[in-house]
Amino acid sequence: MDNHKKNILLQNCNNLEPNQIISIVQTGQITIEEFKAAGLSQNIINQILSSLTTKEQAEDKAAKKSELLEKVVRGRVSADEIKANINNGNFSFDDLLDVGIQEKVVNSLKHYCNSNRITMFRNISQLPPMEEGRTDVYFVGVPGSGKSTMLSGLLNVANKSGVLMPDIYNNDGSIYQTQLISDLNRGVLPNATASGSYNYVALSLKDEDGAKHPFNIVEVPGENYVNIFNNGDVGEFLNYISNSNKKILIFVVDSLSHDTGYNDSSNQLDQNLVYVNILNMFKSNGVLNQTDAIYIVANKFDAIKASRYATNNSSDDSLAFEFLQDEFKNLIENCKDARDESKNKFKIKVLPFSIGNVSFTSIIDNFDKEYSQVVIDNLIEDSFVVKGSRFKLFS
């Protein structure tokens, strides 16, 4: 703009439309300070300033939004972060659909964000006593190894196939059970178990002949195992589990974090060492004499299958066996030795497990029921039947 035209505009600034001034300022031809010096009324200056800043803010917000959505598309955020962004108004569920997130996944995210999913806290002294005359199943695993997710898969499949019969000894456990089943139906994985909290679920599984296999399933919080490992403080826990029930121990190995070098700070301990230590604790306290089976589970199997075994076509069973033989040999050998020394020659089984494809840490887009079914079949095979429970009404 030539100087002459500029001076004319400045001299007549109070006759210009605010929108006209805004576009002149935006194109950088005349600055707001020059208008001010030329005597533009303060009222109009304020109006222009506020409209310029909201415009700037809107541009910033839009840039931030597309940056955040880009991260979502690349799967670089957790459902928790998505929830925070939705609550802060940074983007909406519709924006997620617009950038191509599947409707099913968006619906799962809605459930994750909107439902009030409880995280119960129970320390061991608050648990109801373990009902006798059942098989006790312990999920043993460091934090984040996937114990709760595995339980939710088992409950969901048992429920769908009609073999799940919740027992009412523990009301909290029944509530937890219902929540796990309905969350997974909507594609949502369990919350992290509250630090230090135990979950106890009593249920029966019906076998092919209609006979009931009663179980007490106890999820012991991950960090507890770490504590046991670190300071050997096991009294309360051992006291709780020392009853005359038969036991099945499920060692849940996080094969993903093992393979990625434990770069997740919450999971720094070498699982090999932790699990061998826990096994020996069970051994020295006589728990293994009542143990009928130990399962060593290569969990998050989907992840190592996609990376470590991407070009290997062997069956899942043999890959899991190979993985555990290669990486957890010490645990397997310790289990075998313990079995040889035990009165009770328990079975040692090695299984792969995966819940399916996980996205945003807590969303499951494709629940893979097969692995859960295999664990259920094994639990039925390795547990006892209540006498006289065989009934066949509908066959």
Question: Which residues sit at the interface with Mg ion, rule CB under 5 A?
Answer: 148, 193
**Residue 302 contact among Mg ion, ligand GTP, none, beta carbon within 5 to 8 Å by kind:** ligand GTP
Write out the binding residues for ligand GTP, residues 281-300 only, by CB under 6 A.
299-300
Q: Does residue 372 belong to the site contacting ligand GTP (CB under 6 A)?
A: no
Count of residues in contact with ligand GTP, rule CB under 6 A: 24
- Which of residues 296 and 355 has its CB atom nearest to ligand GTP in the complex? 355
Smallest gap from Cβ 317 to Mg ion, in A, equals 26
**Residue 300 contact among Mg ion, ligand GTP, none, beta carbon within 5 to 8 Å by kind:** ligand GTP
Smallest gap from Cβ 190 to ligand GTP, in A, equals 5
Q: How many CB atoms lie within 10 A of CB 229?
A: 18
Q: Does residue 166 belong to the site contacting ligand GTP (CB under 6 A)?
A: no
- Which of residues 193 and 257 has its CB atom nearest to Mg ion in the complex? 193
- Alpha carbons 243 and 220: distance in angstroms, whole number: 17
Note whether 362 and 78 are within 8 A (CB): yes
- Alpha carbons 284 and 287: distance in angstroms, whole number: 8
- Alpha carbons 114 and 381: distance in angstroms, whole number: 40
- Which of residues 9 and 184 has its CB atom nearest to Mg ion in the complex? 184
Q: Does residue 379 belong to the site contacting ligand GTP (CB under 6 A)?
A: no
Note whether 234 and 122 are within 8 A (CB): no
- Which of residues 254 and 382 has its CB atom nearest to ligand GTP in the complex? 254
Q: Does residue 355 belong to the site contacting ligand GTP (CB under 6 A)?
A: yes
Write out the binding residues for ligand GTP, residues 239-278 only, by CB under 6 A.
256
- Which of residues 147 and 247 has its CB atom nearest to ligand GTP in the complex? 147
**Residue 127 contact among ligand GTP, Mg ion, none, beta carbon within 5 to 8 Å by kind:** none
- Which of residues 245 and 354 has its CB atom nearest to ligand GTP in the complex? 354
Token pair for 58: 């809107």
- Which of residues 108 and 148 has its CB atom nearest to Mg ion in the complex? 148
Q: Does residue 305 belong to the site contacting ligand GTP (CB under 6 A)?
A: no
- Which of residues 136 and 316 has its CB atom nearest to Mg ion in the complex? 136
Smallest gap from Cβ 190 to Mg ion, in A, equals 6
Lookup result for tokens 């670089």: 76
- Alpha carbons 130 and 39: distance in angstroms, whole number: 84
Note whether 304 and 177 are within 8 A (CB): no
Smallest gap from Cβ 329 to Mg ion, in A, equals 27
Q: How far is CA 96 from CA 93, 276, 318, in A?
A: 5, 45, 39
Q: Does residue 146 belong to the site contacting ligand GTP (CB under 6 A)?
A: yes
Write out the binding residues for ligand GTP, residues 168-197 only, by CB under 6 A.
189-190, 192-193
**Residue 146 contact among Mg ion, ligand GTP, none, beta carbon within 5 to 8 Å by kind:** ligand GTP
Smallest gap from Cβ 162 to ligand GTP, in A, equals 24
- Which of residues 40 and 217 has its CB atom nearest to ligand GTP in the complex? 217
Q: Does residue 221 belong to the site contacting ligand GTP (CB under 6 A)?
A: yes
Q: Does residue 303 belong to the site contacting ligand GTP (CB under 6 A)?
A: yes
Token pair for 320: 């899991």
**Residue 214 contact among ligand GTP, Mg ion, none, beta carbon within 5 to 8 Å by kind:** none
Q: Does residue 385 belong to the site contacting ligand GTP (CB under 6 A)?
A: no
Give the angle subtended at the CA of 92 by the CAs of 89 and 95, to the nearest 5°: 135
Give the binding site for ligand GTP (CB under 6 A). Answer: 141, 143-149, 189-190, 192-193, 221-222, 256, 299-300, 302-303, 354-355, 358, 361-362
